[in-house]
Chains A and B, each alone.
Chain A
Amino acid sequence: MCRNAARLLLLLLLFAVPTLLIAQNSSSQPATQGQVAALQQAVQNAQTSADNAWMLVSAALVLLMTGPGLALFYGGLVRRKNILGTMMQSFAMMCLVTILWPIVGYSLAFGHGNAFIGGFEHVFLRNVSLVADPQNFYAPTIPERTYMIYQLMFAIITPALITGAFAERMKFSAMALFLSLWSLLVYSPMAHMVWGVGGLLNANGGRIPSLDFAGGTVVHITSGVSALVTALYLGKRIGYPHTKMAPHSLVLSFIGACLLWVGWFGFNAGSALNSGPLATSAFINTHFATAAAALGWTIFEWLHNGKPTALGAISGAVAGLVAITPASGFVQPMAALAIGLIAGFVCSFMVFKVKSMFGYDDSLDAFGVHGAGGTVGALLTGVFATQLINPAFGKGVATGGMDGHWRQILNQAAGVAIAWVISIVGTLVLLFIVDKVIGLRLNAEDENEGLDLSQHGEEGYDFNT
């Protein structure tokens, strides 16, 4: 009797278990689909959280590069009577470009337009969403508004770099007007061509796909070449080159240079637009190239002048940062060392030899470092780019020289050439207009008195109180 009961129980169990299981499945199928969708959304949200956090930090780091990084770097390099005026030029860009960007600058750079310039669909930040959209052309995992604010910091620092060329001799009003117009008429178009949807030089679908990860052409060549044009147009400072016009505080410049180095991690690694392995590559490359370039410049100077100077070391570091900018998200770390070393030598040669050969007064070497470094970096990007770091043209498609795709160097050269041309033409036109309307240069009395007193009615330092 017990054995029969046990057999019955076992039989019941054998039937019960599958029945229970099936019953559970059939009653929860719609719920499972819903759960999966919710899970997918949660994964997307997590991705967005990580990427957005990094991007916001990066944006802050890039702003730090201008204020106080560049302000201190340039400020320390000028004579004491011009310290405040020089810092004000960077600060003014932080304020002016920030106003212009949401109104129309961002739209001209990143709106849909043609191959050369964007449109007006995003004026006043219309349709620039706070919600991440996987279909977004620029950044699928972060809100486009994050992309907008990140790009704003680039738009701020680019004109600020130019101020180095006309240091100590341009009117504040003229500088504000000239650089505001420059931002809209030179920067936004160049940014559109390289990064904007449908841009001529865009690696993603452009007619001449060129590789510019974080702005070697958009930021450094444009600012560097425009700087040269401005220096030539304005003429030399009174007393140049026989009067001693040495930095009044290399201490400030040193601090500024280090802020630039650290801030540049946001500039380059942030250009990955996510917090994944590409950001890691760009971060590493940035750091490696900078160190190598500082060494390159220092060695050149030690051989050339007999002593390694602090100014040389920090200038070399900046040259490396500039040169690695277009390459940072495309090359292997060892290539970054090579790029930095080459940039250190080339830029120091430009500053020591070429500048005195031609006699132009590029006061703070904006062209020698940014123009030359950006050109070198953009071309070397074509040499060293590899799909192993960034399959920019598609999975399995060669990216640059290291993959055997040496023709990329030609595309890089095209991007460089276009940057040079738009900078020269755009800058000349704007300088001419602003000069006619309000006059660019300080008069001799104001230039001798210094920017601080003549333009701002202030003194940078007061050692008497």
Chain B
Amino acid sequence: MVKIEAVLQPSKLDAVKDALLEAGIEGMTILEARGHGRQKGHTEFYRGREYTVDLLPKVKIEMVVPDAMQEKAIQAITSAARTGRIGDGKIFLSRIDEAIRIRNDERGETAL
């Protein structure tokens, strides 16, 4: 089982969710985050004072999928989220030791 974490532009969230659903992935967790990579921030003015804001709004999607679904999931995310410009985001993968369904104690890939 692999955990897929994707940090995205907030405006791409709907497109990515739809693409994942189409790929057959239904379970996911969405978090609101702030951050930046190589993207520069923007400047704001308040009563003549200039401030640089470099913590930009982001969206993070987390999901745990069976190994067999890994490439399909990645493909869905990248094709929906890519614009070609800096700030598109990143995807991280990590191994998951176990998954448990709370409702009925199911374990393993069937619990996903």
* Chain A, Cβ-Cβ closest to B48: A352
Q: Specify which chain A residues have a CB less than 8 angstroms from the CB of B48 in the assembled complex.
A: 301, 304-305, 348, 351-353, 355-356
* A304 and B47 alpha carbons, distance in the complex (Å): 11
The answer to whether A247 and B49 have CB atoms under 8 Å apart is: no
- Would you give the shortest CB distance from A224 to chain B, in whole angstroms? 16
| A312 within 8 Å of B (CB atoms) | yes
* A355 and B45 alpha carbons, distance in the complex (Å): 15
The answer to whether B46 and A311 have CB atoms under 8 Å apart is: yes
| A399 within 8 Å of B (CB atoms) | no
Question: Chain A at the B interface: mostly helix, strand, loop or mixed?
Answer: helix
The answer to whether B47 and A365 have CB atoms under 8 Å apart is: yes
* A241 and B44 alpha carbons, distance in the complex (Å): 15
* A103 and B50 alpha carbons, distance in the complex (Å): 47
* A175 and B51 alpha carbons, distance in the complex (Å): 30
The answer to whether B51 and A309 have CB atoms under 8 Å apart is: no
B45-68 residues with Cβ-Cβ distance < 8 A to A are: 45-51, 53
The answer to whether B45 and A315 have CB atoms under 8 Å apart is: no
Which residue of B44, B48, B49, B53 has the most chain A CB atoms within 10 A of its CB atom?
B48
Chain B: number of interface residues, binned into ranges: under 10
Q: Specify which chain B residues have a CB less than 8 angstroms from the CB of A348 in the assembled complex.
A: 48
| A7 within 8 Å of B (CB atoms) | no
| A244 within 8 Å of B (CB atoms) | yes
* A301 and B47 alpha carbons, distance in the complex (Å): 9
- Would you give the shortest CB distance from B44 to chain A, in whole angstroms? 7
The answer to whether B47 and A241 have CB atoms under 8 Å apart is: no
* A315 and B53 alpha carbons, distance in the complex (Å): 23
A360-382 residues with Cβ-Cβ distance < 8 A to B are: 365
* A353 and B48 alpha carbons, distance in the complex (Å): 8
* Chain B, Cβ-Cβ closest to A312: B47
Contact count A vs B, C-beta below 8 Å: 31
| A246 within 8 Å of B (CB atoms) | yes
**0/1 interface trace, chain B 15-26, chain A, CB 8 Å (1 if under):** 000000000000
Which residue of A246, A312, A355 has the most chain B CB atoms within 10 A of its CB atom?
A246
The count of chain A contact residues (Cβ–Cβ below 8 Å) is 19
B32-47 residues with Cβ-Cβ distance < 8 A to A are: 44-47
* Chain B, Cβ-Cβ closest to A364: B47
Q: Specify which chain B residues have a CB less than 8 angstroms from the CB of A311 in the assembled complex.
A: 45-47
| A307 within 8 Å of B (CB atoms) | yes
Q: Specify which chain A residues have a CB less than 8 angstroms from the CB of B51 in the assembled complex.
A: 244, 246
The answer to whether B45 and A351 have CB atoms under 8 Å apart is: no
A219-238 residues with Cβ-Cβ distance < 8 A to B are: none
* A371 and B66 alpha carbons, distance in the complex (Å): 68
The answer to whether A315 and B47 have CB atoms under 8 Å apart is: yes
* A307 and B48 alpha carbons, distance in the complex (Å): 11
The answer to whether B47 and A307 have CB atoms under 8 Å apart is: no
- Would you give the shortest CB distance from B36 to chain A, in whole angstroms? 16
**0/1 interface trace, chain A 305-329, chain B, CB 8 Å (1 if under):** 1010101100100000000000000
* A315 and B48 alpha carbons, distance in the complex (Å): 11
- Would you give the shortest CB distance from A133 to chain B, in whole angstroms? 48
* A311 and B44 alpha carbons, distance in the complex (Å): 11
- Would you give the shortest CB distance from A241 to chain B, in whole angstroms? 7
* A307 and B42 alpha carbons, distance in the complex (Å): 14
- Would you give the shortest CB distance from B18 to chain A, in whole angstroms? 27
* Chain A, Cβ-Cβ closest to B47: A351
**0/1 interface trace, chain A 287-317, chain B, CB 8 Å (1 if under):** 0000000000000010011010101100100
Q: Specify which chain B residues have a CB less than 8 angstroms from the CB of A247 in the assembled complex.
A: 46
Q: Specify which chain A residues have a CB less than 8 angstroms from the CB of B53 in the assembled complex.
A: 244
* Chain B, Cβ-Cβ closest to A348: B48
8 Å CB contact of B45 from A241, A307, A356, A365:
A307
- Would you give the shortest CB distance from A77 to chain B, in whole angstroms? 9
Q: Specify which chain A residues have a CB less than 8 angstroms from the CB of B47 in the assembled complex.
A: 311-312, 315, 351-352, 365
**0/1 interface trace, chain B 56-89, chain A, CB 8 Å (1 if under):** 0000000000000000000000000000000000
* Chain B, Cβ-Cβ closest to A368: B47
The answer to whether B46 and A305 have CB atoms under 8 Å apart is: no
**0/1 interface trace, chain A 235-253, chain B, CB 8 Å (1 if under):** 0000001001011000000
Pairs A-B, 6 closest by C-beta atoms: A352-B48, A244-B51, A246-B46, A305-B45, A351-B47, A309-B45
- Could you pull out 20 A-B pairs where Cβ atoms are within 8 angstroms? A241-B49, A244-B53, A246-B46, A246-B51, A247-B46, A301-B45, A301-B48, A305-B48, A307-B45, A309-B45, A309-B46, A311-B46, A311-B47, A312-B47, A351-B47, A351-B48, A352-B47, A352-B48, A356-B48, A365-B47
Q: Apart from A301-B48, A356-B48, what are 10 other A-B pairs with CB-CB below 8 Å?
A: A247-B46, A304-B48, A305-B48, A315-B47, A351-B47, A351-B48, A352-B47, A353-B48, A356-B49, A365-B47
**Which B residues are closer than 8 A to A by beta carbons?**
44-51, 53
**Which A residues are closer than 8 A to B by beta carbons?**
241, 244, 246-247, 301, 304-305, 307, 309, 311-312, 315, 348, 351-353, 355-356, 365
